[in-house]
Amino acid sequence: MKDLNELLATVSQLFDQANHTAAPAGLYDPIEYTMHLGGKRLRPALLMAACEMFGGEAEQAANAAMGIEMFHNYTLLHDDLMDQSPLRRGKPTVYRKWNSNTAILSGDTMFALAWRYMLQSRCQRLSEVLSCFCNTAIEVVEGQQLDMDFERTAKVPIADYMEMIRLKTAVLLACALKVGALHTNASAADVERLYGVGIHCGLAFQLQDDLLDVYGDVAVFGKQTGQDIIDRKKTYMVLRAMELLPPDEAASLETMYAEPCIDAAGKVARVKEVYDRLDLRTVVAEAVDREFEIATAELDAIAVPESNKSTMRELVKSLVGRKK
């Protein structure tokens, strides 16, 4: 069984060796560009770690790992276009480097390539793998639609927001873990517990992403900060702020947040001032910790030797940004 460094090296080698160059170049060059932008590649690492946790070998899940990361990057291409985001992992997004039509077509091709990888998985439970992947693909798009709907909704309950990020972000992490486990003889109960680990890690991951959008270092975060505010996206940050503020101040924030963004830097600064006053960094950190604790409890309940969980525990901590 690989330790964390060995597993990450295996994942890195897998993607370094992958080549998606083909004709026509206008379609495939953006795919090659996207797949080699880097990133933490946590989803394929989680998938392979799940396989090894239940006694499998990471390499037997390589095709599924490629598929899950290809699908994830397909969603990013379309998401960046829809949000008009200029940067991804510190580099120009595909629609900015090429054009919008290229981002659509290359993303569509990546969706098909992800399915090809999944179909090539060496797995006796392939029907379960494909069912999980299919359901997840639908749920991710449902989450994206809810995210768009919320942009036009004045008041969004935090419970509705949490359901949206469960669909848009958490289910893909959970799918990666479940698919990895399905490459082994893991029991149905343990597979579902591991799926729960992914859901709560995913929720923590997105809550932290909301935080980093405001307070992150562009050089580290890899995306323009304040973009959610500029795009008037409903995030945990702004929804929690509206809960914590007195009604008149909440109404003022709601109005300011909904204004068309003429002075982007000024608007981000004004909203951030409200967040600072409410100490939302601490509020969000506490919410992240709660999700992490639930994920940890689910992992504790899985019936494999504790030594088999060490790499998974490290990955989970890395995923939610924990330092301890």
Domains recognised in the chain with CATH numbers: 4-319 (1.10.600.10)
CA distances from 137 to 81, 112, 163, 171, 219 (A): 18, 12, 16, 9, 30
- For 253, phi and psi rounded to 5 degrees? -65, -45
Tell me how far apart the alpha carbons of residues 322 and 43 are, in angstroms, rounded to a whole number. 17
- For 87, phi and psi rounded to 5 degrees? -125, 145
Predicted confidence at residue 324, as pLDDT, reads 36
- For 56, phi and psi rounded to 5 degrees? -85, 180
Predicted confidence at residue 322, as pLDDT, reads 45
Predicted confidence at residue 264, as pLDDT, reads 87
Contact (Cβ atoms closer than 8 angstroms) between residue 320 and residue 170: no
Length of the chain as a residue count:
324
| H-run or E-run covering 103 | helix 100-119
Tell me how far apart the alpha carbons of residues 165 and 152 are, in angstroms, rounded to a whole number. 17
- Residues 6 or more apart from 302 whose CB is under 8 A from it? 53, 190, 193, 194, 309
| Concatenated DSSP letters of 275-319 | HHHTTHHHHHHHHHHHHHHHHHHHHHTSSS-GGGGHHHHHHHHHH
Longest dimension (CA), the chain: 59
| Residue 113, Cβ density class (10 Å: 0-12 exposed, 13-18 middle, ≥19 buried) | buried
Tell me how far apart the alpha carbons of residues 88 and 78 are, in angstroms, rounded to a whole number. 12
Predicted confidence at residue 323, as pLDDT, reads 40
Tell me how far apart the alpha carbons of residues 212 and 201 are, in angstroms, rounded to a whole number. 16
Predicted confidence at residue 259, as pLDDT, reads 85
pTM here?
Answer: 0.93
Tens digits of pLDDT across the chain (324 residues):
899 999 999 999 999 899 999 999 999 999 999 999 878 899 999 999 999 999 999 999 999 999 999 999 999 999 999 988 888 888 999 999 999 999 999 999 999 999 999 999 989 999 999 999 999 999 999 999 999 999 888 889 999 999 999 999 999 999 999 999 999 999 999 999 999 999 999 999 999 999 999 998 766 665 668 888 988 889 999 999 999 999 999 999 999 998 887 888 899 999 999 999 999 999 999 999 999 999 999 999 999 999 999 999 999 998 877 443
Distance of CA 134 to the CA centre of its chain: 17
pLDDT in tens, 294-320: 999 999 999 999 999 999 999 999 887
Beta bridge partners of 92: 87
Contact (Cβ atoms closer than 8 angstroms) between residue 196 and residue 174: yes
CA dihedral 272, 278, 280, 286 (to 10 degrees): 180
